[in-house]
Amino acid sequence: MIGILVRRGKLINAISLKITWLACVLGGSIMGLIAISAMILHSGVQRRLSIDLPYVGLLSVIGFVLDTAWISAGVLDYGQSALWLSSSFMVAPPWIVLLWVAVGLSLNQSLSFLVDRPLFGSLLVGLGAPFSYLTGESFGAVVIPDPSALALLSLSWIIVFYGIFYLARVRAIRPLNI
């Protein structure tokens, strides 16, 4: 019975991750926040929130820094959804950071099969990253001025996710006491 509930929870999490991607890319920050709220609620009901939150925090910061760096380097252009901190400095839009939050909420749930294989997982995620950005571009959420820069994006994701999957595998990030 517990095995069925765990599998069902992972399936709900996987579907929620896809819905959140669509909500963020098509609906922006407000729709993304609604989808993330549902994911957080599900994580709480599954009694996994204390396990998920450290990864949410880590991936939020990494995602914000990476996507802001891509904006500064001219690799990605989020248009009006990017936030101006000054007249010459833009940062990643909230909806893209919410996508990183969604991954953090999925890391030890629907993505746990990748955690057990950090190298395979990082290659799979990293090689799939350009397709995610290209799909986002087809929906008008982002512009990729030079598609050859997607190789750099892919490499950065391989490195980041190898570290994240490795940390999750060895449980180097401890659950919060909530």
- pLDDT tens-digit profile of 48-78? 899 999 999 999 999 999 999 999 999 999 9
Query: Smallest Cα–Cα separation from 34: which of 44, 24, 46?
Result: 24
SS (H, E, C) 93-125: CHHHHHHHHHHHHHCCCCCHHHHCCHHHHHHHH
The mean per-residue pLDDT over the stretch 154-159 comes to 96
User: Considering the chain, what is the average pLDDT of its residues?
Assistant: 92
- Strand partners for 86: 89
Give me the pLDDT at residue 88, please. 84
The mean per-residue pLDDT over the stretch 39-50 comes to 93
CB 126 within 8 A of CB 157: yes
Centre a 10 Å sphere on the Cβ of residue 131 and count the other Cβ atoms it contains: 11
**Is the pLDDT at 1 greater than 50, yes or no?**
no
Instruction: Report how far residue 46's alpha carbon sits from residue 19's, in angstroms, rounded to the nearest whole number.
Output: 19
**Residue whose tokens read 């069902």:** 8
The mean per-residue pLDDT over the stretch 8-13 comes to 91
Give me the pLDDT at residue 6, please. 57
User: What digits encode the pLDDT tens for the residues 105-153?
Assistant: 999 999 999 998 999 999 999 999 999 999 999 999 999 999 999 999 9
- Strand partners for 90: 84
